[in-house]
Amino acid sequence: MSRAFLVVMDSVGIGGAPDAGAYFNGAVPDTGANTVGHVARTVGLRVPTLTAMGLGHALRLASGMEVPALLAPATGAWGAATELSRGKDTPSGHWELAGVPVPWDWTVFPRTDPCFPPDLVAEVCRLAGTEGILGNRHASGTNIIEEEGAAHLRTGWPICYTSVDSVFQIAAHEEVFGLDRLIALCEGLAPTLHAMKVGRVIARPFVGSPEEGFRRTPRRRDFAIPPPAPTLCDWLHEAGRRVHAVGKIGDIFSMRGIDTLSKGPDRDLMGHLHRLATEAEDGSLVFANFVEFDSDYGHRRDPAGYARHLEWFDAGIGALLPLLRAGDLLLVTADHGNDPTWAGTDHTRERVPVLAWGIGPRELGLMAFADVAATVAAHLGVPPRGPGRSRL
């Protein structure tokens, strides 16, 4: 029995979303944002494995942009997916890739200072046992720990911030505030925020000092609203199949329909992906997310770093292919864009690539995010339940 590997490159968009003009970074609409295209044109990009899988063709299909270095005869199948859900965030993208578009509008906090309602701040203080919070504004996670880190060490107050996405993030020093205390605070606060239709509460631990600078650690935790309907993971579970999650997948799906979870920084995750290629059972799904494109380079608007990480990832996928068995399906895709050459620091509304290995070279065309779930389910012989249709 064949297996499936669904690998999400967090934020690796390819432009062309038809509704991009309705989404903004500050006052700048996302019209024209193109993560892969602009990285390739700005700093250059050499990704031979993804190129062979059809990345350049998917880019041209999605947005009309041609990057000659990414165009070669494809040995994989390729397409471009358009999101239906109204959010340009991680849960919306992943849930829809797993067959469940988001049926509601997420709550986002106003771009004011302060931005959180007083009763929510009071609840944070009650759970944290503090007299106040720091931040209380829209901010980049790396910037706000530099701006508020010293005050956090002095007062012990948690640093709370948000973005244009539906998130409530809490940053705290692992050693001074305590990692377990931070995670317990976020877990305790999650039901309140989920009732408000805020998609995620995120624990953002960091270390360091004012003298040496502060840096985030890989021990973040996401507390997401559970999906509103059974996803691909549930469909497979109910059919007696096993689902192995790698990276943020467990958090995004609230561990629903998931048997095992492997976490760590992206370099460790690639090792887990390779290991699972040799260990995963027949009929199983390996569902992976590589987040550092987004967290380390997209939000920080670092196109050179983004290119380096894509090239590193490409080498890892190249090493994965020989480990796959006859009949296996590999799908490489993304959940949204985060153009590191764009204005602002937030995600960009874009189409995403769908690159398939194991079904022969062909164009899959423009497709829906939910078609990814239907395709995986069909490959594994499990009936899909969502709105997508298989591209096999």
Burial per residue of 132-158, b for 16 or more beta-carbon CB atoms within 10 angstroms, e otherwise: ebbbbbbbbbbebbebbbeebbeebbb
CA–CA separation, 291 and 248 (whole Å): 8
Using left for φ > 0, alpha for ψ between -120 and 50, and beta otherwise, residue 9 falls in beta
Q: Does 294 carry a binding-site annotation?
A: yes
Fill in the DSSP letter of residue 131.
S
Distance, CA of 268 to CA of 260 (rounded, Å): 16
From residue 25, how far is each of 20, 162, 299, 343 by CA, in Å?
11, 14, 11, 6
Residue 295: strand, helix, or coil: helix
Q: Is 347 annotated among the ligand-binding residues?
A: yes
In Å, what is the CA distance from 186 to each residue of 158, 160, 171, 205, 288? 11, 11, 10, 11, 24
Residue with tokens 């969502």: 386
Distance CA 363, CA 355 (A): 10
Q: Residue 259 annotated as binding? A: no
Q: Say how far apart CA 112 and CA 114 lie, in whole Å.
A: 5
Token readout for 73 is 């005869």
Whole-number Å distance between alpha carbons of 361 and 76: 4
Distances (CA, A) of 184 to 10, 179, 373: 26, 9, 33
Q: How far is CA 24 from CA 163, 301, 343, in A?
A: 12, 15, 9
* SS3 state of residue 2: coil
Question: 335 a known binding residue?
Answer: yes
Judge residue 174's burial from the number of C-beta atoms within 10 Å of its C-beta, 0-12 exposed, 13-18 middle, 19 or more buried.
middle
Q: Which two three-digit tokens encode residue 345?
A: 């620091």
Report the binding-site residues: 10, 294, 299, 335-336, 347
State the binding site for Mn(2+). Answer: 10, 294, 299, 335-336, 347
